Amino acid sequence: MTQRDNEPAPDHGPDPVEFGRNMVRVAAQSQKVLSEFLEQQRENQSPVQDPLNLGSAFNELLRYWASDPMKVIDAQYELWKAQANLFHTTWRRFLGEDVDPVIAPARGDKRFRDPQWAENAVFDFIKQSYLLTAQWMQDTAAEVEDLDEDTRRKVNFYTKQLADAISPTNFVLTNPEVLRATYESSGENLVKGLENLLRDMERGGGTLSISQTDMSKFAVGENIAVSPGKVVFRNELIELLQFDPRTEEVYERPLLIFPPWINKFYILDLRQDNSFIKWAAEQGYTVFVVSWVNPDVGLARKSFEDYMREGIIGALDAVEEAAGVSEINTIGYCIGGTLLSAALAYLAQTGDSRIKSATFFAAQADFSEAGDLQVFIDDRQLEALEKQIEAAGGVLEGSKMATTFNMLRANDLIWSFVINNYMLGKDPFPFDLLYWNADTTRMPRATHLFYLREFYRENKFSKGEMELGGVALDPSKVTIPVYLQSSKDDHIAPYKSVYKTTKLFGGPIKFMMAGSGHIAGVINHPDANKYQYWTNDELPDDVEDWIAGAAEHPGSWWPDWHKWLSKKSGKKVPARKPGGGGLKVLGDAPGEYVQEKS
C-alpha cells in the first residue's frame, strides 16, 4: 500500500533514538541542577530560620483543628463527597452523555486555556479535581475560628500559594501542552528547560531568579526611557531630570514627579507610544522627574527623613531654581506617593507652601486595609528581614521585593514562566514592562524598615503619630487640592486602601478608580483606547458606596486628570528648556543613576 498524493504522512511519534538521547541529557542536567542548588544553599545560609514566620501561623491552625477533630472529619467528608460527584459525572461523560462541569476555572484564570483541558475527559477530570481540592483547601482555612487577624491573613494567603503551586499545569505528566511539546520534540523541550533553569539559578546566586523577559532586547536610553531631556541637579539620593518641552508655551507651574524608589522612574517612559512623561509634556507641562539612586552599602544609613529632605525638598529647591517659580504641582507614585504624603504634612507644618497640588498614583497613606502585603509585615518577619539586611551590608536587594510582589500574582508572574521556560523549554518573550520589573533597585536598611514598621505595621501617619525632622505630622494640615488615582485590580495598593486617604487630608480631594492593576491602571495612554475609569464627586465613608454612585467612562483617565490639573497650573508662559534657568545641564536624560544595576 502506498501513500496517496496530498495525504499527510502518518505520525509515527517521537524518534525513539532521539528521545532516548534527550532523556539521558535530562538526567544529566537534572543532576547538575541539583548539585548546583545544594552547593549554592551551602554558600548562602540564611541568618534566620523561618523568615516568613509560617511555622507559628500554621501551628495555630493545627492547634485549632486538634481541638475539634469533628470539624476536620466534616471537612474531609465534604471534599470526598465533591470528588465522588465529579467521578460520577466523568463516568457519565465516558458513557457518551453531555454533562455540565462540576466546577469551572474562575473568570480570568489563564492556566487551563489549552483545548485539551476541556476536550479530553481525563484532563478535564484532573482539572476539576484540582479545582475542587483548591477551593476546599482555601474554604477550610478561611472558616477557621479564633485566629487573630494577622494569623488568619497569613494562613489564607499561603494556603492560596500552596493551592497555586500544586496545580496540574505545573507538572509535566499532567499538563497536556507540555506532554504534546515533549512528544513533538522528542523531549528536546525538557533539555532546553533544564538549561534555562540552571542559568536562572546561576544568575540568582543561590536563589532561583526566574527570567520573565529577554533582557538582551532592551537598553535604557536606547529603546526605552528615550524622551529627550537633561539632568539638571544631582545629590546623593536623586538626579533631577527636566524634559524638553513639546509645546511653544507651557503652564507657569511646573510638574514635579516622584516615582517609587523600589523601581526605576522609566515606568513613566517605557515607549514613546505609552510614555506618561511625553504625553504630559505634549499637554503643555514643564515636566521634572526624580530619578532615585540605586543605593549601595555606602548609603545604607540613609533614613526616611533623608529621602524627604534630599528627595522631596531637594527636588523642590532645584525645580524652583531651574524654572524660576516657587509654585509647583506634584505627583507621587506608589511609595513615592507615601513619601510625598508625609512631606506634605511636614511642609504644611513648617510653613513651606511651594507645593500647590498633589496627584497620587496608586499610593497609600492610611495602611489599615493595605491588602495582602500585610502578610509580610509581622514583628518576627521584620526582625528576620533586619538580620538579612544587616548580613547583606545594610541594603536590601531589589530582587527580594520583586519576589514578594510576584507572589501577589503567582500564577501570572511565577508559574506561567515556570511552565514556559522550564517545561516547554521556550525563551521568554521580550516585554519592556517585564524588563523594567526585573531592573530592580536596592533599599537602605533604615529607610525600608521605617517604611514597613511606621507605615505598614503601625500605620502611624494616618493616626497622627508619626514624627519627621522633629515635627509631629498631622495629615489634616494638608489643605492643597489632591487627585487620588486608584485601580480596580491593584494588588499592591488596593483601591480600598487608597480611598482611606480621602478622610486624611484637609483640602479638596478628587478620587477616581481606573480599570486594571498597579501598572496598567496607571500607564494607560489615551491613544490605546483601553480599559475604563470611574468618577464620583461624592466621597461617602465607604468606598463601596462611592462605587455604587460612580459613573463609568471608557478609555484612559489621563485626560480627566489633565482637565483637573490644568485649572491649577497658572497661565501659559514661553516654553522652558533644560539649562535655560538657574541650573546648568549635568548630562543627558535618562541620567546616570538609572543605569546602575543591582
What secondary structure, in 3-state letters, does 405-442 show? HHHCCHHHHHHHHHHHHHHCCCCCCCCHHHHHHHCCCC
Quick one: cell of 270? Answer: 517605557
Instruction: Say if residues 260 and 336 touch (Cβ distance below 8 Å).
Output: yes
d(CA 197, CA 201) in angstroms, rounded, equals 6
Inter-CA distances, 306 with 442, 535, 591, Å: 16, 36, 21
Q: Determine phi and psi for 112, rounding to 5 degrees.
A: -115, 40
- In terms of Cα–Cα distance, which of 225, 292, 210, 197 is closest to 436? 225
Is residue 494 classed as helix, strand or coil in its secondary structure?
coil
> Reduced to 3 DSSP states, what percent helix, strand and coil does the chain have, rounded to the nearest 5?
50, 10, 40
Instruction: Say if residues 26 and 112 touch (Cβ distance below 8 Å).
Output: no
> Any catalytic annotation for residue 546?
no
- For helices 121-142 and 149-165, the axis angle rounded to 10 degrees is 170
Q: What is the Cα 492 distance to its own chain's centre? A: 6
The catalytically annotated residue of 334, 342, 446, 482 is 334
Q: Which residue has the cell 513613566?
A: 268
Q: Determine phi and psi for 255, rounding to 5 degrees.
A: -115, 120
d(CA 269, CA 281) in angstroms, rounded, equals 12
Burial of 81: CB neighbours in 10 Å, binned 0-12, 13-18, 19+ = exposed
d(CA 535, CA 387) in angstroms, rounded, equals 45
Catalytic residues: 334
